[in-house]
Amino acid sequence: MNYAKPDYLISTADLDAAIANNSSRLRLFDVTISLVPSTQGYNAVSGFDDYQQAHIPGTAFMDIIRDLSDTSSGLGFTLPSAAHLQAAYRAAGIDDDSQVVFYSSGHMMWATRAWWMLHSCGHKNVAVLDGGLSKWQQEGRDLTTEFPPARSGNVFVSLNASLWADKATTLAAVHDGDVCTINALSPEVYSGEAKMSYGRKGHIENSKNVFYDELLDQGCFRPAAELQRVFLAKGLLEKQRVIAYCGGGIAATLDALALALIGHQQVAVYDGSMSEWVKDETLPLITGPEAAAD
């Protein structure tokens, strides 16, 4: 695939081999969440029930909603404090030298969200299972209903704030020629033509639309050359810094990871995304299709 950072992904074959090798350092997590459409965005439901039905051997369940979100923010998903994350990761059995793999039985965006969080905490060995549980099942690989033994870990969290953007930073980027904001939602939601919205329709001014599904082929990331073509067509690779956003900071991590895979050094995720932006009536939204790249 010729990625600049190939270790950010792991193939089903390589994961199968790692499991067979019975490495004591391997920590495998299902982070599935289901989205139920509502009049304003979606309601998120834990995927724990799906995990109990079948999962990859050795997999534990990590609940993004309960364990990895600040539930007091009033938004669906918000990055909690470094102390909160450290406690959650240690409770999940993650050590500083753990080989961590995240996957989802649904869309891969949940795994990329979990990846982006742990990556931003300074963990050096964390990957997303490319293709997720669907690809694993399609290949006829082993599944189980057994839970792995509980562990406690010693991971140390050092949060890199530059990998996240807040509302003020995103607003400042609107007319900053060195920064490009990208909207990871579908073209219909981006333009405001979709029935569904997050409270107000449209997109942040001057943001480009890179629909997350453009970056995937049958549930796996496209090769580096194809990812580069997508981002080059939007003029993104010419920008010093990129801020990715979506509805709630989830799909944006798929765009952000794709950029990281091909070597972009300065990418941030707007954590509050549209769910936060629309609540401030003073912040404009633009409707209509994407303007052509400069």
Those residues whose C-beta lies under 8 Å from the C-beta of residue 96, and which sit 6 or more positions away, are 123, 154, 155, 156
- CA–CA gap between residue 71 and residue 77 (Å, rounded): 7
Residue 196 has which token pair?
Answer: 């569904």
Element (H, E) at 88: helix 82-91
By the 8 A CB rule, do 185 and 28 touch? no
- CA–CA gap between residue 195 and residue 201 (Å, rounded): 9
Q: Are β-strands 216-217 and 220-221 bridged in parallel, bridged antiparallel, or unpaired?
A: antiparallel
Q: Which residues are catalytic?
A: 246
- CA–CA gap between residue 43 and residue 17 (Å, rounded): 36
The DSSP code for 215 is G
With CA atoms as reference, report the closest residue to 104 among 58, 63, 74. Answer: 63
**Burial label, 148 (beta-carbon count in 10 A; 0-12, 13-18, 19+):** middle
Element (H, E) at 273: helix 273-277
Those residues whose C-beta lies under 8 Å from the C-beta of residue 236, and which sit 6 or more positions away, are 180, 182, 208, 210, 242, 259
